[in-house]
């Protein structure tokens, strides 16, 4: 199971990398805006900076919504660095673009996925990664993790190679649940990854070990 960090914040990406468990980065236009990165040149330079930090895949999302625009933008993004993955929305023009990119050996991440039908379409079009948005489904009081189960079963039965990238993951427990449900990758904020560390018995146990060592050794 791969861990991606879902942020455009360079310090957080470095911290995740230094932890030694980071396999990649996902971004989206909202995350880029949150970092104050605006304008095409600055956005492309920021993607380059992220790619210089991590060896793994870095998803860079297109803004265009028409086929020609998505292809032009995605091609330009893919030229920033070899580890760029072009993030394409699950819309009709996006599906056409996924097929184009697949035929031209440009790797993709199909985003804004909320149903198994959309997952089927993206895999048929040759998407490298598929991003079902778990948290946003849960926000509507539906079951986001059930969707991961359903897609994992569907892809296994049909033999699709598209990797399931559980996105909009916001809690440490959801990372574990996504893994159990069959996600190949999770992407989440750094805090959710760091949350996996936490258990009070670990802290209590360590404190006792160190106290015993001090008592015995002075
Ligand atoms: O990768 C997509 C993800 O960033 C969406 O997360 O928390 O905005 O639903 P969220």
Tell me: the pLDDT tens digits for 139-182?
A: 999 999 999 999 999 999 999 999 999 999 999 999 999 999 99
Domains identified in the chain, total number? 1
Tell me: the pLDDT tens digits for 181-194?
A: 999 999 999 999 99
For every residue of 140-151, DSSP letters joined together read TTS-HHHHHHHH
Cα–Cα distance between 52 and 3 in angstroms, integer?
18
Cα–Cα distance between 104 and 98 in angstroms, integer?
10
Assess whether the C-beta atom of 25 lies below 6 angstroms from ligand 1: no
pLDDT at position 218 over 90: no
Cα–Cα distance between 100 and 77 in angstroms, integer?
15
Q: From ligand 1's centre to the CA of 168, what distance in Å?
A: 4
Range(s) of the domain holding residue 163: 2-216
Percent of the chain with pLDDT over 70: 100
Question: 29 falls in which pLDDT band (50, 70, 90)?
Answer: very high
Assess whether the C-beta atom of 109 lies below 6 angstroms from ligand 1: no
pLDDT at position 98 over 90: yes
Are 115 and 147 a contacting pair, CB within 8 Å?
A: yes
Specify the CATH number for the domain of residue 60: 3.20.20.70
- For the CA of 187, the nearest atom of ligand 1: 1
Cα–Cα distance between 47 and 71 in angstroms, integer?
18
Its pTM stands at 0.96
Instruction: Give pLDDT, residue 178.
Output: 98
Assigned token pair, 83: 């580890």
Which mutation among 29, 135, 166, 185 tests ligand 1's pocket best, with the greatest number of atoms within 8 A of CB?
Answer: 135
- Residue 2 annotated in active site: no
Assess whether the C-beta atom of 149 lies below 6 angstroms from ligand 1: no
């Amino acid at each position: 199971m791969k861990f991606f960090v879902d942020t455009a914040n360079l310090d957080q990406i470095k911290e995740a990398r230094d932890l030694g468990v980071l396999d990649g980065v996902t971004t989206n236009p909202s995350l880029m805006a949150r970092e104050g990165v605006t304008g095409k040149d600055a956005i492309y330079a920021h993607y380059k900076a992220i790619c210089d930090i991590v060896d793994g895949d870095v998803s860079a999302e297109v803004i265009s919504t028409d086929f020609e625009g998505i292809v032009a933008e995605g091609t330009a993004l893919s030229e920033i660095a070899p580890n760029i993955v072009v993030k394409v929305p699950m819309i009709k023009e996006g599906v056409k673009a996924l097929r184009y990119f697949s035929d031209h050996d440009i790797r993709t991440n199909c985003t804004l996925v909320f149903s198994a039908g959309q997952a089927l379409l993206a895999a048929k079009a040759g998407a490298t990664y598929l991003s079902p948005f778990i948290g946003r489904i849960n926000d509507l009081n539906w079951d986001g993790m059930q969707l991961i189960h359903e897609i994992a079963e569907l892809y296994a039965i049909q033999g699709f190679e598209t990797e399931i990238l559980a996105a909009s993951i916001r809690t440490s427990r959801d990372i574990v649940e996504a893994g159990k449900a069959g996600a190949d990758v999770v992407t989440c904020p750094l805090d959710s990854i760091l949350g996996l560390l936490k258990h009070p018995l670990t802290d209590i146990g360590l404190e006792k070990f160190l106290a015993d060592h001090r008592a015995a050794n002075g």
